[in-house]
Amino acid sequence: MPPRIIPEPGNVPNVPHDAQQAYQTLKSDRVIIAPTDVGYALLASSQAGIQRIFAAKGRRESHNIGIIGTYQQHREIHLLPESKFELTRVLTEDMGMIIEIIAKFDSKSLHPRLAALDKATLSQVTKGDTVGIAIPEGPFLRELDRLCDVDPQGMLIFGTSANLTGQGQRFRIEDVEPAVLACVDLVVDYGLQKWHSYGRGGVNLDVENMQVLRMGAGYEVCRERILRWFPRLFDEAAGGLDQDPEYDRGDIH
């Protein structure tokens, strides 16, 4: 049976309504495809949903999957000095950038959101004593994650790109492979996504060590902002914020 698609053809997006529909679908242990500015994503909130996603993508079970969360979740779960929380707040909240933030968490006294996860899901979401939380920039995901924050059960959302493993981002629903579409219950189709010209996912930033793990869409902007406003946090001798050879102008120091 094909997935339900919202908004229906001929209708415009209604973010609060669409996010509520997506939230209820996820809360029922089902899987959705949702728009992000760096391409469409497969989202789930349970181990059953993650298994469906991995099977559809052809992804190894040992592979990690990230949390799609809010700045609030990032502040509650990650262990960072206040100076680095200021960095992440400015980049994501004030400047509206989509960035996956990788940092340590308290593995001995788990945050309630992590403690609620089953062992298999916790092992897929974390790597050693670190966890990645992608803070989105688009209004749909921000509203969807807000609903998680106000939910007393503290649901987390896990996500990965809506494509077969290794095949690159999909910026239109029409480009998502049939095998991937077949694993979902709901598709939120908002058309061509914002950063399609990059053909990349988002920036992955290890804030613990100030190391870029992926030069994603808009990385040259992210790098310039860090060096402009937070140079004290960056150890130039250690590297980690290299120029993007494809997009950097080459005159930012």
CA pair distance 34, 9, nearest whole angstrom? 16
Q: Which of 106, 38, 54, 109 is nearest to 78 (CA)?
A: 106
Tokens 């242990």: give the residue: 29
Average pLDDT of 196-219? Answer: 94
Q: Poorest-confidence range of 110-114, 115-119, 150-154, 201-205? A: 150-154
Model confidence at 241, pLDDT cuts 50, 70, 90, reads: confident
Predicted local distance difference test score (pLDDT) of residue 2: 87
Highest mean pLDDT among 110-114, 149-153, 186-190: 186-190
Burial classification of residue 122, based on how many CB atoms lie within 10 Å of its CB (0-12 exposed, 13-18 middle, 19 or more buried): middle
Asked if the model's pLDDT at residue 235 lies above 80, the reply is no
pLDDT in tens, 101-115: 999 999 999 999 999
Domains, the chain, with CATH or none: 4-231 (3.90.870.10)
The answer to whether residue 253 scores a pLDDT higher than 50 is no
Are 135 and 216 contacting, i.e. CB atoms less than 8 angstroms apart? no
pLDDT of 250 higher than 70? no
Contact in structure between 136 and 37 (CB atoms under 8 Å): yes
pLDDT above 70 coverage of the chain, percent: 96
Q: Judge contact between 162 and 40, C-beta under 8 A.
A: yes
Q: pLDDT grade, residue 57 (50/70/90)?
A: very high
Is residue 38 over pLDDT 60? yes
pLDDT over 80 (residue 61): no
In tens, the pLDDT along 120-138 reads 999 999 999 999 999 999 9
Closest C-alpha to 30, from 19, 47, 51, 44? 44
